[in-house]
Structure 1
């Protein structure tokens, strides 16, 4: 690859085939292990590209909504609490994605859920992408209404349709978009904040003293937990970060320092910038509250319109505010549309054993998002996010606990991740039971089924139940539902001497394409190998290896 070539635009090797499924998944290794031959860029370049996808404006709305309701003190503590939880749980997931070059769905399969059990969490992640697509689309429509006079319903439609051309080519389009737009976005976001603080220090005092509409003032547990629950709806963002981190190069003795820096920065580290944006959202909402009122103050377009109005001529204010909102919306929503399409496609392919093409599910995801926008989801944003966060927390904490506790401490879960059909049981009760119990009970608490007093504690319940039940279920089941087989029929080890996935290639007997060692298993009926996607689409199980007796 030339020095001027974008790291995620290199043409994958041997991507010409008559099979639509094979050709499309080789575009950027959707639904697959990402091979070493494709991962030719440096750790820091991957990290920079990954961080470009978190330029969304939702953080400003989320922070503003919490701050206006509960006051600055409660909001800042809630943001900090959620950030710590997101960082701690995101770390093991980011490590596994970067180390073994697989996305979060593939990680989830072998981390307590099983081959079909992880369909549950794929749907949760897909829901995350269209909920936040709808949120960002709503923010963009507000900007188009202010700047161009478009009615909101038309703005929703425009914000949905404009991303379709950008997600057709997957990571190739995303990488170029993120690299070119990030500097502009940073300048437009940071400049007005710095100006306000420097020229009017009183804004900081008003921000810190704001007590919120509940009028209680001070910091109290219920308000903090309610606010943290909304912030924790973003916990599933780690899935989108891993969609980039799976392209990390092998970790070696020579690059281990930069490798770890990149993984931490672009993995769980995304929440540092996210928390700062939420705090800025509180600041800007308090700043413009008297001008626009409590209804409009959480709208980023109004926040930045007010900030720009203080530092530049009036004729520049609206165009710059609209430009910031539109750039931010495009940057995140191409990622939402792309990642959501992967999650839906992955689930559909496993359940039906048919690969319909990723673009079908791009449209499905966008249809869900458009329906939410037209239903005016922005007006009940905190309720949607508070409900959703219970499911997201239960999932992420379950997988993180399986990696951190069941794999490394209890050693009941296989240390090396497994995702191939035939190697995993259909359902693993360890993750499924922990997830269903944690999400079910916390949702019941959220809807006051267990009383008003416990309602704010639903996100805490989701995290604690998942954290306790995951190792408990592993102990009860003795870890016997993780692997259906321990031998995939290939003599060569999965990992090389440095612990990285092997780069040796073998040809798939079905699609006639070469794949690296971790993406294949032996064929049941032929003296040959079959790739993971062809195993997934084997409707009669002709190639899937039989179950292997577990040693006592």
Structure 2
């Protein structure tokens, strides 16, 4: 394929394409992340990705489940959710790291189609602003305790302070996460170790706590209700992949460190997440008699009580506030960043116009601030329980498509595809499976099928998504995965080791060099065009015909 620099018609691509190209090259927003940009070692990428899960919401989630159903049910629920999140997260993390694309780009070629995955992009964007609001609420509680700020002002401060940090992409975020992680780990783990060592009786009180609705025993309904809340975090794998897409190529020399990084920072995030939820139960039970059940779910109160037992009183509140602020910044720069990618991705595909990622940073923060001002923290578990049904249906559908449809049935193309023109607009495999699974599970959650089945809504989401995804692939014979099998470029997409090719060609529209996986042949010129210029091609001059 020639790379002749013929000019396209003036009406083909939006005038702001130059600005879009410049901005997306900061961290390859909406694009394949090229080898030339991925200079970090596997462990640096993993550390950066894990830094993003420093959120305090886990402590609140664990405490809320325990107060409703008791410690026994809470711990089993946490374990059940963690296993499911790990199993479904593994194939997604592998594909993101191996092929250097984010979860939306994976979803396009794994059952949803070019426009069909807009559904899941909106769900992921919702995940980011819901959890931004949750973390912002926790930080506002800390600012109120430490500085006397009213909550409404704390919400505003926690929102505005991340904007300067999230303007920059992976380069800035990697430095922030690496440098703050040791301090965060010390402040989080230290109090737990001290309390258990100094007063072993705290462990007995923790394990015997029965909750407000429980009798101390473990029962299925309580476990499933608790697991449903925990499973709202299943979409966190999308934020992990936003970092994992910058993994270096997998080679024989780095094979062990590459796999260790993918497992640790991909599905492995849930191990630390589950531990934090369990610690949240422990600390909430510990401070319950002092602050009462309403405040005991607030991480700032949990750590204030723990620090109070181990250090001078003048140091207690400042350290608790420092821990909350560090945690909020670490996770909310990730929430704002990932949310802006998801919104921008959806908007660009639907309108074929790239408005700039910062526009959607502000949109995402606006949604989050509205939730905070509406006091979402007081009905946290209800929001998360509802949201989890959509998130479970999406993640299980994509994971099943990769594990079953690609590797077992071989009806889904093995290498992921995300470029416009190569995919059908909508693939019924993923869209039908996701819609049916999320629709029925949400109906169950709102008691439409009776009170008895209500706790089983997350189970319904998992089972339906897992069963319908391969059934739809068989029923359609895999017909709607690829609109065409040849992108018009002679050079292979993958190199000899199965990594995306590092061959560089020049897009004749924006005149920038891109690596092979980000390009396709142009329909009307003897040249190649990049994926973003394809996305913003308003009249389809560059999009290859179906074949």
* CA distance in structure 2 between the partners assigned to 1:158 and 1:200 by the alignment: 38
**TM-score, scaled relative to structure 2:** 0.97
Report which stretch shifted further, 249-258 or 435-444: 249-258
Is residue 104–residue 242 contact of structure 1 (8 Å, CA) maintained in 2?
yes
Report which stretch shifted further, 528-537 or 176-185: 176-185
Is residue 12–residue 28 contact of structure 1 (8 Å, CA) maintained in 2?
no
Give CA-to-partner distance per residue, 1:129-182, whole Å, 9 cap, x none. Answer: 000000000000000000000000000000000101111112222111111111
Is residue 242–residue 267 contact of structure 1 (8 Å, CA) maintained in 2?
yes
* CA distance in structure 1 between the partners assigned to 2:434 and 2:4 by the alignment: 45
Is residue 138–residue 324 contact of structure 2 (8 Å, CA) maintained in 1?
yes
* CA distance in structure 2 between the partners assigned to 1:490 and 1:4 by the alignment: 13
* CA distance in structure 2 between the partners assigned to 1:132 and 1:432 by the alignment: 25
Residues 2, 216 of structure 1: alpha-carbon distance in 2 compared, 3 angstrom cutoff: farther
Is residue 123–residue 391 contact of structure 2 (8 Å, CA) maintained in 1?
yes
Is residue 4–residue 508 contact of structure 2 (8 Å, CA) maintained in 1?
no
Is residue 12–residue 38 contact of structure 1 (8 Å, CA) maintained in 2?
no
Question: 1:108 maps to which residue?
Answer: 107
Query: Aligned match of 1:8 in 3, 6, 10?
Result: 10
Is residue 9–residue 171 contact of structure 1 (8 Å, CA) maintained in 2?
no
Q: Report deviation, 1:472.
A: 0.2
Give CA-to-partner distance per residue, 1:330-367, whole Å, 9 cap, x none. Answer: 00000000000000000000000000000000000000
Is residue 197–residue 203 contact of structure 1 (8 Å, CA) maintained in 2?
yes
* CA distance in structure 1 between the partners assigned to 2:316 and 2:12 by the alignment: 40
Residues 132, 101 of structure 1: alpha-carbon distance in 2 compared, 3 angstrom cutoff: same
Could you list the structure 1 runs, at least 4 aligned residues long, displaced by more than 6 angstroms after superposition.
Answer: 1-13
* CA distance in structure 2 between the partners assigned to 1:245 and 1:5 by the alignment: 34
Is residue 34–residue 247 contact of structure 1 (8 Å, CA) maintained in 2?
yes
Residues 483, 141 of structure 1: alpha-carbon distance in 2 compared, 3 angstrom cutoff: same
Is residue 82–residue 228 contact of structure 1 (8 Å, CA) maintained in 2?
yes
* Larger RCO, structures 1/2 (Cα 8 Å, 6+ apart): 2
Residues 2, 384 of structure 1: alpha-carbon distance in 2 compared, 3 angstrom cutoff: farther
Q: Report deviation, 1:41.
A: 1.7
Q: Report deviation, 1:45.
A: 1.3
Give CA-to-partner distance per residue, 1:236-256, whole Å, 9 cap, x none. Answer: 000000000000111111111
Q: Report deviation, 1:57.
A: 0.2
Residues 535, 11 of structure 1: alpha-carbon distance in 2 compared, 3 angstrom cutoff: closer
Is residue 8–residue 175 contact of structure 1 (8 Å, CA) maintained in 2?
no
Give CA-to-partner distance per residue, 1:401-446, whole Å, 9 cap, x none. Answer: 0000000000000000000000000000000000000000000000
Q: Report deviation, 1:280.
A: 0.0
* CA distance in structure 2 between the partners assigned to 1:338 and 1:26 by the alignment: 15
Give CA-to-partner distance per residue, 1:91-141, whole Å, 9 cap, x none. Answer: 000000000000000000000000000000000000000000000000000
Q: Report deviation, 1:2.
A: 35
Q: Report deviation, 1:40.
A: 1.6
Is residue 8–residue 171 contact of structure 1 (8 Å, CA) maintained in 2?
no
Q: Report deviation, 1:8.
A: 36
Secondary structure, aligned partner of 2:490:
coil
Q: Report deviation, 1:492.
A: 0.8
Gaps of 5+ in 1: none
Residues 272, 10 of structure 1: alpha-carbon distance in 2 compared, 3 angstrom cutoff: farther
Structure 1 residues 334-483: aligned runs within 5 Å: 334-483=333-482
Question: 2:203 maps to which residue?
Answer: 204
Give CA-to-partner distance per residue, 1:218-237, whole Å, 9 cap, x none. Answer: 10000000000000000000
Q: Report deviation, 1:216.
A: 2.2
Secondary structure, aligned partner of 1:506:
strand
Is residue 62–residue 281 contact of structure 2 (8 Å, CA) maintained in 1?
yes
Is residue 12–residue 538 contact of structure 2 (8 Å, CA) maintained in 1?
no
Q: Report deviation, 1:3.
A: 36
Q: Report deviation, 1:476.
A: 0.2
Is residue 12–residue 27 contact of structure 1 (8 Å, CA) maintained in 2?
no
Give CA-to-partner distance per residue, 1:5-34, whole Å, 9 cap, x none. Answer: 999999999xxx981100000001110000
Is residue 507–residue 514 contact of structure 1 (8 Å, CA) maintained in 2?
yes
Q: Report deviation, 1:44.
A: 1.2
Give CA-to-partner distance per residue, 1:197-220, whole Å, 9 cap, x none. Answer: 000000000000001100322100
* CA distance in structure 1 between the partners assigned to 2:3 and 2:419 by the alignment: 35
Is residue 9–residue 172 contact of structure 1 (8 Å, CA) maintained in 2?
no
Q: Report deviation, 1:53.
A: 0.6
Secondary structure, aligned partner of 2:76:
helix
Residues 356, 2 of structure 1: alpha-carbon distance in 2 compared, 3 angstrom cutoff: closer
Residues 4, 362 of structure 1: alpha-carbon distance in 2 compared, 3 angstrom cutoff: farther
Is residue 3–residue 505 contact of structure 2 (8 Å, CA) maintained in 1?
no
CA RMSD of aligned residues (A): 5.1
* CA distance in structure 2 between the partners assigned to 1:375 and 1:229 by the alignment: 23
Is residue 124–residue 235 contact of structure 2 (8 Å, CA) maintained in 1?
yes
Residues 9, 258 of structure 1: alpha-carbon distance in 2 compared, 3 angstrom cutoff: farther
* CA distance in structure 1 between the partners assigned to 2:343 and 2:238 by the alignment: 14
